[in-house]
Chain A
Amino acid sequence: MLEIKNLHATVDGKPILQGIDLEIAAGEVHAIMGPNGSGKSTLAYVLTGREGYEVTEGQVLYKGQDLLEMEPEARAAEGVFLAFQYPIEIPGVANTTFLKEALNAVRRHRGESELDAMEFMKLLREKTKELGIAGDMLKRPVNVGFSGGEKKRNEVLQMAVLNPTLAVLDETDSGLDIDALKTVADGVNALRNAERSMLVITHYQRLLDYIVPDRVHVLARGKILRSGGKELALELEQKGYADFTQAA
């Protein structure tokens, strides 16, 4: 599904990623853990094509295609989804409108017919019901005035509607209390399936109690310094990142 080879990237000329190698197979959930400033969010933005994140070396293959060559919207249409750490507000644009616009853009790209208003509302009602999301959230402008928990649930809803094959969750646990965290994790777990891969970026082990990963990687100083099973997360919880932040 996703193959990252020797990926180097800079932000404002400053090297952040310094040779990442990572492979995620279809249906797998991988967690990336690491201290602040280790390059976790940079990896998420490089994968989704944000401006200002420059790849200086390396390759990313997604379903066999060169991901880095594609525009951000083309990556999205090909099934790459980023759940933002800080979801963006779009005043005056109803959540429903935004989702419909996005879904139909993606469908056009995939050569599928666009959904009309009726079909779309039906789909949306199904998804909100599955995820236990209140209908009024759909009418409100995108993320405007949303609580931290609502914003994250909204990201999960978008994910459910757009039906990606690779979901990158950037610090989805940040700013959530334990109840909100559970709700969001339940939503994410409901979307796990054999075709969908996930890359869960987190600072704390806590999230991984709820979204249990197949593999855990430690990202520090721009590299993956260790990989292991889910028990690695527990070890990190006890020992912290000190071993990784000091010079190797």
Chain B
Amino acid sequence: MAATSETIRQVQDIGERYKFGFVTDIESEMAPKGLNEDIVRFISAKKGDPDWLLEWRLKAFRLWQTMPEPEWAKVEFPEIDYQDAYYYSAPKMKDRPKSLDEVDPELLRTYEKLGIPLKEQEMLAGVAVDAVFDSVSVATTFKKKLEEVGVIFCSITEAIAEHPELVRKYLGSVVPYSDNKHATLNSAVFTDGSFVYVPKGVRCPMELSTYFRINAENTGQFERTLIIADEGSYVSYLEGCTAPMRDENQLHAAVVELVALDDAEIKYSTVQNWYPGDENGVGGIYNFVTKRGACRGRNSKISWTQVETGSAITWKYPSCVLQGDNSVGEFYSIAITNNRQQADTGTKMIHIGKNTRSRIISKGISAGKADQTYRGLVRMSNRASGARNYTQCDSLLIGDECGAHTVPYIESKNAAAQVEHEATTSRISEDQLFYCRQRGIDPEAAVALVVNGFCREVLQQLPMEFAVEAQKLVGISLEGSVG
């Protein structure tokens, strides 16, 4: 990713200039531990929210207190103590590594395998240098190009201040604050995230990547993303990074909302590689994300592609609400679980408009003692005449202590709608491994090769430079899974 390294260099320059940055400042802006109405107000005040947003946060918070944890997913974890966490800024500043010498060597080894340059490694590993990153300055050149065509790409905080009418119109319009406990918590306490608006008829000239919009400290935990593609526009958005990022917050509850108007298309790609915990299942991120796209307009299209290899627990169902006639929803997913990781992931395709189409391709790979579930809903409403869905769920098992489950929910209220579901479960065979080894390929590379082949249909959906890294990542995620 040449563009990435360019940005890194820029960031680095900035880092040099503000060497003694705002560390003290940030520390003084910490909210106390725990969560109550005062904390929500504190966050809102710090963010300079308008009144309507504060009210919205408070409504969410009050509702959240009464909501039960979602329990239908096939994942197990101890009860989360919400009062034992910080909701604004990080208390971890002092504990950050001062140099790469203080970083977990295992993490560094992974960076090396991914071929990530040193400076970038420092950034990802959270070496203190990035405390001085100023999100506004970093993206400057990049933003200029976008401004020329009228694309707005900024932090959600900035968007609330500068484009309040857009934010107010669309925020919570796809994922309402009352949607589910994790999304509701996010609505109450989100501190930052991304905002994209692509105006009518504009084809966004470049891939938009979260990488270019480095957030203020510690916003990853409750990130809020809103993307609006106006009539006839197109945008491709990349979230995440193939390198594992150092992060001490266990709970991540992000919300992503996409809105596609008439003839618009949004392509949203994710590579999620948060810390999965160690091989005994100690530590690791709980990744409880609500992602949903609304195909509001006729002939609109939303396509989700995800490569989920990290986190101790992944709970995630990027979905499409196909409201506009002839709109299209797609979900391409690779989920890899190794050691003690758990993943319950899938999608929902809600067909409302006529002749709406959806396609689901899910590839699950489970190794070690990991457990994963594909959970998908396809709903055909009574209006959805001529609607079609095709679902294909393939699971691949490595070893004999892991599990893979497929739970499709199909609801059809329209006799003229078609739903197709195919599912397979297979193992990497000893034959395949031996065949590869006989040709000189070592067992780990052989597993990576076979698994990449298994995932090919999904990997092909990723933007080119992302795909190459994702292929490497597939191999790295499965290290230690054979002999």
Task: Check: A91 CB closer than 8 A to any chain B CB.
Answer: yes
Choice from B438, B443, B449 contacting A90 with Cβ under 8 Å: B449
Task: Check: A76 CB closer than 8 A to any chain B CB.
Answer: yes
Nearest residue (CB) in A for B431 is A88
Choice from B430, B438, B443, B453 contacting A93 with Cβ under 8 Å: B453
Provide the residues of chain A in CB contact with B439, threshold 8 Å.
76, 98, 102, 105-106, 158, 162
Pairwise interchain contact B449-A93, C-beta atoms closer than 8 A: yes
Which residues of chain B (419-462) have a CB below 8 Å from chain A? Answer: 429-432, 434-443, 445, 449-450, 452-457
Provide the residues of chain B in CB contact with A162, threshold 8 Å.
439-440
Pairwise interchain contact B445-A101, C-beta atoms closer than 8 A: yes
Provide the residues of chain B in CB contact with A158, threshold 8 Å.
439
Provide the residues of chain A in CB contact with B441, threshold 8 Å.
73, 101-102, 105
Pairwise interchain contact B450-A106, C-beta atoms closer than 8 A: no
Choice from B443, B445, B453 contacting A92 with Cβ under 8 Å: B453
Task: Check: A48 CB closer than 8 A to any chain B CB.
Answer: yes
In the complex, A230→B473 CA distance in Å? 53
The digit string for B152-177, where 1 denotes a CB below 8 A from any CB of A, is 00000000000000000000000000
A139 to chain B, nearest CB (A): 13
In the complex, A74→B288 CA distance in Å? 44
Choice from A84, A93, A105, A109 contacting B450 with Cβ under 8 Å: A93
Which residues of chain A (6-20) have a CB below 8 Å from chain B? Answer: none
Task: Check: A124 CB closer than 8 A to any chain B CB.
Answer: no
Provide the residues of chain A in CB contact with B435, threshold 8 Å.
84, 87-88, 90
Provide the residues of chain A in CB contact with B437, threshold 8 Å.
49, 71-73, 76
Provide the residues of chain B in CB contact with A129, threshold 8 Å.
none
Pairwise interchain contact A92-B438, C-beta atoms closer than 8 A: no
Provide the residues of chain B in CB contact with A103, threshold 8 Å.
440
Provide the residues of chain B in CB contact with A50, threshold 8 Å.
434
Contacts A50-B434, A84-B435, A90-B432: A105 and B440 contacting too (C-beta < 8 A)? yes
Task: Check: A77 CB closer than 8 A to any chain B CB.
Answer: yes
Pairwise interchain contact A48-B454, C-beta atoms closer than 8 A: no
Which residues of chain A (32-82) have a CB below 8 Å from chain B? Answer: 48-51, 71-73, 75-77, 81-82
Task: Check: A141 CB closer than 8 A to any chain B CB.
Answer: yes
In the complex, A87→B441 CA distance in Å? 16
The digit string for B40-82, where 1 denotes a CB below 8 A from any CB of A, is 0000000000000000000000000000000000000000000
Provide the residues of chain A in CB contact with B457, threshold 8 Å.
92
B429 to chain A, nearest CB (A): 8
B365 to chain A, nearest CB (A): 12
Pairwise interchain contact A91-B440, C-beta atoms closer than 8 A: no
Which residues of chain B (287-346) have a CB below 8 Å from chain A? Answer: none
Most chain B beta carbons < 10 A, residue from A87, A91, A92: A92
Choice from A82, A105, A109 contacting B445 with Cβ under 8 Å: A105
B438 to chain A, nearest CB (A): 5
In the complex, A82→B437 CA distance in Å? 11
Pairwise interchain contact B431-A102, C-beta atoms closer than 8 A: no
B174 to chain A, nearest CB (A): 34
Nearest residue (CB) in B for A103 is B440
In the complex, A71→B429 CA distance in Å? 18
Choice from A72, A77, A97, A101 contacting B434 with Cβ under 8 Å: A72
Nearest residue (CB) in B for A75 is B438
Provide the residues of chain A in CB contact with B454, threshold 8 Å.
91-92
In the complex, A76→B437 CA distance in Å? 8
In the complex, A77→B436 CA distance in Å? 12
Provide the residues of chain B in CB contact with A84, threshold 8 Å.
435, 438
Pairwise interchain contact A90-B450, C-beta atoms closer than 8 A: yes
A108 to chain B, nearest CB (A): 9
In the complex, A88→B453 CA distance in Å? 14
Provide the residues of chain B in CB contact with A76, threshold 8 Å.
437-440
Provide the residues of chain A in CB contact with B432, threshold 8 Å.
88, 90
A111 to chain B, nearest CB (A): 14
Pairwise interchain contact B453-A73, C-beta atoms closer than 8 A: no
Choice from B429, B431, B440, B456 contacting A73 with Cβ under 8 Å: B440
Which residues of chain B (331-363) have a CB below 8 Å from chain A? Answer: none
A84 to chain B, nearest CB (A): 7
Pairwise interchain contact B453-A90, C-beta atoms closer than 8 A: yes
Choice from A48, A81, A82, A91 contacting B453 with Cβ under 8 Å: A91
The digit string for A137-181, where 1 denotes a CB below 8 A from any CB of B, is 000010000000000000000100010000000000000000000
B51 to chain A, nearest CB (A): 54
A97 to chain B, nearest CB (A): 8
Pairwise interchain contact B430-A106, C-beta atoms closer than 8 A: no
A90 to chain B, nearest CB (A): 6
A144 to chain B, nearest CB (A): 9
A9 to chain B, nearest CB (A): 16
B393 to chain A, nearest CB (A): 16
Pairwise interchain contact B450-A82, C-beta atoms closer than 8 A: no
In the complex, A73→B449 CA distance in Å? 15
Which residues of chain A (91-139) have a CB below 8 Å from chain B? Answer: 91-93, 97-98, 101-103, 105-106, 109
Provide the residues of chain B in CB contact with A102, threshold 8 Å.
436, 439-441
In the complex, A75→B442 CA distance in Å? 11
Contacts A92-B454, A92-B456, A93-B453: A48 and B438 contacting too (C-beta < 8 A)? yes
Provide the residues of chain B in CB contact with A73, threshold 8 Å.
437-438, 440-443
In the complex, A84→B431 CA distance in Å? 11
In the complex, A114→B482 CA distance in Å? 25
Provide the residues of chain A in CB contact with B452, threshold 8 Å.
92-93
Pairwise interchain contact A106-B440, C-beta atoms closer than 8 A: yes
Choice from A72, A91, A101, A109 contacting B438 with Cβ under 8 Å: A72
Choice from B430, B438, B449, B456 contacting A82 with Cβ under 8 Å: B438
In the complex, A48→B433 CA distance in Å? 13
Most chain A beta carbons < 10 A, residue from B442, B443, B452, B454: B442
Provide the residues of chain A in CB contact with B455, threshold 8 Å.
92
In the complex, A120→B430 CA distance in Å? 28
Provide the residues of chain B in CB contact with A87, threshold 8 Å.
435
A66 to chain B, nearest CB (A): 18
Contacts A51-B430, A72-B434: A109 and B453 contacting too (C-beta < 8 A)? no
A113 to chain B, nearest CB (A): 16
In the complex, A214→B477 CA distance in Å? 49
Nearest residue (CB) in B for A78 is B440
Q: List 7 A-B contacts (CB under 8 A).
A: A72-B438, A76-B439, A88-B429, A88-B431, A92-B453, A93-B456, A102-B441
**A-B contacts besides A88-B432, A90-B453, A101-B449, 8 pairs, CB < 8 Å:** A71-B437, A72-B437, A73-B441, A75-B438, A91-B454, A93-B452, A105-B442, A109-B440
Residues of B within 8 A of A (CB): 429-432, 434-443, 445, 449-450, 452-457
